Structure 1
Amino acid sequence: MELLTPSARQLSSYGSSGVELLRAALVREPQDGFAVDVVQLAPGGSIGRHPTRLWLLFLVVSGRGWVSGASGDRRPLRAGEAALWSPGEDHTSGSDEGLTAVVVQCHVRPLAGEGAS
């Protein structure tokens, strides 16, 4: 067993503000691009609008916020809820009060769990 302390960095691309990104996993083989990140949005923080490269699952684990996809409409999310964007879809997210989310990126569509809408 190894005990690890992944390092965090501030995310400023796409006009993002108040965002800390912790890379939890990046697997280059056999599925180039698969990544698991922990994103912390400070109160008032947002990730600027940009297209996804891969399928992107944004699972809120604490706090509340909002997400927006291709339509530009903001949809609220709270802990235990998730958004899924398809490859190439423009998206953005933010929070008035702050939130922590786990973000999974991969080439194949993640399977929906029980009770997913």
Structure 2
Amino acid sequence: MEFFSFAKEHGRTVTHYDSNFTLSRLAITESRTVISYMYLEENGLIGYHMAPVNQILYVVQGEGLVCGENKEHKRIQAGEAVFWTKGEWHETKTERGLTAIVIEGETLNPELLANINARK
């Protein structure tokens, strides 16, 4: 048995695209799926950028705003998730802070969850 920490102090600060958050990798699969834990402090930002692969952001704690290519920000909170397709421009920001699990991978398919857990 091995123990690993994804605590904020073991993560790395991300600043590209004018971002301001801490990223801790949770796992990387052989099919190049990356699973990470993100810590956005008060006024944190994952800057506007193009998704290099399909990705889904699961908000675990807190709330914030997300947008796609139309730059129309929509509120997201703990217990909700958002999916962006490869090549889609997007951004995440928060005034009060949020933590999220992010899964990124070419074969990620949200349609498998859409009929079960779609947000109205």
Is it true that 1:12 corresponds to 2:15 in the alignment?
yes
Which runs of structure 1 show a deviation greater than 3 angstroms over 4 or more consecutive aligned residues? Answer: none
Structure in which a larger fraction of residues adopt strand: 1
Aligned residue pairs, count: 113
**What is the identity percentage for the equivalent residue pairs of Structure 1 and Structure 2?**
32
Q: CA deviation at 1:46?
A: 0.5
Structure in which a larger fraction of residues adopt helix: 2
Cα separation, 2, equivalents of 1:12 and 1:115: 32
Is it true that 1:72 corresponds to 2:74 in the alignment?
no
Q: 5+ residue gaps in structure 1? A: none
The equivalent of 1:25 in structure 2 is: 27
Deviation readout 1:5-31 (Å, 9 max, x if unpaired):
2430001011112x010111112x2x1
User: Aligned to 1:44, what secondary structure does the other structure show?
Assistant: coil
User: Aligned to 2:17, what secondary structure does the other structure show?
Assistant: helix
TM-score, normalisation: structure 1: 0.90
User: Aligned to 1:36, what secondary structure does the other structure show?
Assistant: strand
Q: CA deviation at 1:93?
A: 0.3
Deviation readout 1:18-67 (Å, 9 max, x if unpaired):
x010111112x2x13x1000011111111111100111100101001010
The equivalent of 1:90 in structure 2 is: 89
Amino acid at match of 2:4: L
Tell me the C-alpha RMSD between the 2 structures: 1.2
